[in-house]
Amino acid sequence: MANILLVEDDDLVRDMLTQTLERASHHVISAANGEEATERLQNEKPDIMVTDIIMPKKSGITLISEVKNRHPHMEIIAISGGGRLDPTGYLDLSESLGASVSFEKPIDNTALLMAIDLLLHGKKENVK
């Protein structure tokens, strides 16, 4: 079981992911954008942050670089559906900023849960 901060601006995806993660016995703290995530992080200490990239107010890219500075031990998973740019471009950028792993939407949730378990048990090298 892990404490997971879920940052996603799409209500449907956020709710669906919350249910999925909770069913896998994780505790979910959710935020609708980067700014909300920064607020949550003042009181909460999650083990893992799962964040979308293209979001209003504060993007996932900014959030990842801030979190990596302030909480260097927190594991980060980046997710993106792309946009005008190639999502692998955003995702590559997230990984170079410190995300442990990244997924392109629509994601295979089994793979996402597996990645969370591996990160939780410190087997970062096996995640990919």
Partner 1 sequence: MTSNHPQRMWLPYLIAVIGIMGTFVLAYLIKEDVQLNANIHPTIGSYHPTVVIYMVLFLGIGISLLVTILIWMIQQSRLNAVRLNLMNQDLQKSMAETLHAEETKSKLEIALLQGQKLQAMGTLAGGIAHDFNNLLYAIIGYAELSRQDVDKDSITHKNLGKVLDAAHRGQELVGRILTFSRRQHHDFAPIELKTTIEAALSLLKPTIPASVMIHFDPADEQIILGNQTQIHQVLVNIINNAVDAMDGEGSVNIHISTIPKNDPFLHAFPNILQQNYSKIEITDTGHGMDQPTMERIFEPFFTTKEVGKGTGLGMSIVHSIIQEHQGEITVTSQLGHGTTFMILLPMMEGN
> Smallest gap, in angstroms, from Cβ of residue 16 to partner 1?
4
> Smallest gap, in angstroms, from Cβ of residue 71 to partner 1?
27
The full DSSP string for 46-115 is -SEEEEESS-SSS-HHHHHHHHHHH-TT-EEEEEE---SS-HHHHHHHHHHHT-SEEEESSP-HHHHHHH
Q: Which is nearer to partner 1, 81 or 98 (CB)?
A: 81
> Smallest gap, in angstroms, from Cβ of residue 54 to partner 1?
7
Q: Which residues bind partner 1 (CB under 8 A)?
A: 10, 12-13, 16-17, 19-20, 23, 54, 81-86, 104-107, 109
Q: Which is nearer to partner 1, 95 or 104 (CB)?
A: 104
- State the pairing for strand pair 75-80/48-52: parallel
